[in-house]
Amino acid sequence: MSENRLGARQVELEVLRYNPESDEAPRYQRYSVPCKNEWCMLDALNYLKDNLDPTLAYRWSCHMQVCGSCGMMINGEPKLACKAMVRDYEGVIRIEPLAHFPIERDLVSVADDFMDKLKRVKPYLIPGKPKTLEEGEYKQTPEQMQRYRKFSMCINCMLCYAACPEYGLTKSKFIGPAAITLAHRYNLDSRDGGRDERQEEIATNEGVWECTFVGACSDVCPKHVDPASALQQVKVASTVDWYLEHFMSWSKK
């Protein structure tokens, strides 16, 4: 990197380019971008697109670590482009789409598999005892909310899927960290009664039992959701379910 008279440093970005409709294979394209000290990687990409190459495709929306749409690999690690600061990197910076997902175009990943898995685990409240409007809200105490609060902070950025070696190996099968964590978040909610429906999806070989507890999902999560701990909690709860079910049927004999 070198500094110009405006105080910006020339940063070399090596960006994966691929249009499945016209390219035989992905390739890397090098750009020299004048980056300010306070820029995140998304600022650098926006400069690149506005001034150097308008054909580059990538997703973003909020620029404040909330929408979860600017996930990409930066020097081989899953990151939010709006959180990774350019100043934290040396030399040529390689930028690629999220690992383990097909490429829609350039840095845009196809998210269909993740969306399908999210739907399967029913990540929404299924009231145990439905109420009429006249009966009022579904209330809970701050202590009841604390049981699941950490797991509710997920922004669906898919970084944990890009980091998960198990998802990379068995991607069409493993439901994966974020979807299972969201199922667990609703299972822990005192207002919910949908646990049995979700357990049919997540307490299975395609669910938690595919997880080998590498923990990379929690390492890369930008919102500190800690999906690895959620999956281990689901394993323990499912094991207790299994013992109770078999012990109860055995004790009735």
Binding residues vs ligand SF4 (CB under 6 A): 154-160, 177-178, 181, 221, 223, 225, 227
Q: Of 95 and 217, which has the nearer Cβ to ligand SF4? A: 217
> What's the rounded Cα separation, in Å, for the pair 108 and 158?
12
Q: Of 158 and 202, which has the nearer Cβ to ligand SF4? A: 158
Shortest Å distance, C-beta 162 to ligand SF4: 9
> What's the rounded Cα separation, in Å, for the pair 156 and 233?
20
* CA Rg value for the chain: 22
Q: Of 109 and 181, which has the nearer Cβ to ligand SF4? A: 181
Shortest Å distance, C-beta 133 to ligand SF4: 33
Report the chain's terminal Cα–Cα distance, integer Å: 75
What residue type is assigned to position 59 of the chain? R
Contacts of 31 (CB under 8 A, 6+ apart): 12, 13, 15, 48, 52, 53
Q: Of 46 and 156, which has the nearer Cβ to ligand SF4? A: 156
Quote the tokens at residue 140: 């809970």
> What's the rounded Cα separation, in Å, for the pair 94 and 44?
13
Q: Of 124 and 250, which has the nearer Cβ to ligand SF4? A: 124
What residue type is assigned to position 224 of the chain? H
Q: Of 34 and 227, which has the nearer Cβ to ligand SF4? A: 227
3-state helix, strand, coil in the chain (%, to 5): 40, 15, 45
**Dihedral sign for Cα atoms in the order 37, 40, 42, 45:** positive
Shortest Å distance, C-beta 74 to ligand SF4: 14
Q: Of 81 and 157, which has the nearer Cβ to ligand SF4? A: 157
Pairing status of strand 9-17 against strand 93-96: parallel
Shortest Å distance, C-beta 253 to ligand SF4: 43
Shortest Å distance, C-beta 72 to ligand SF4: 13
For residue 137, which of 193, 195, 191 has the smallest C-alpha distance?
Answer: 191
Shortest Å distance, C-beta 6 to ligand SF4: 35
Shortest Å distance, C-beta 49 to ligand SF4: 24
Contacts of 2 (CB under 8 A, 6+ apart): 9, 10
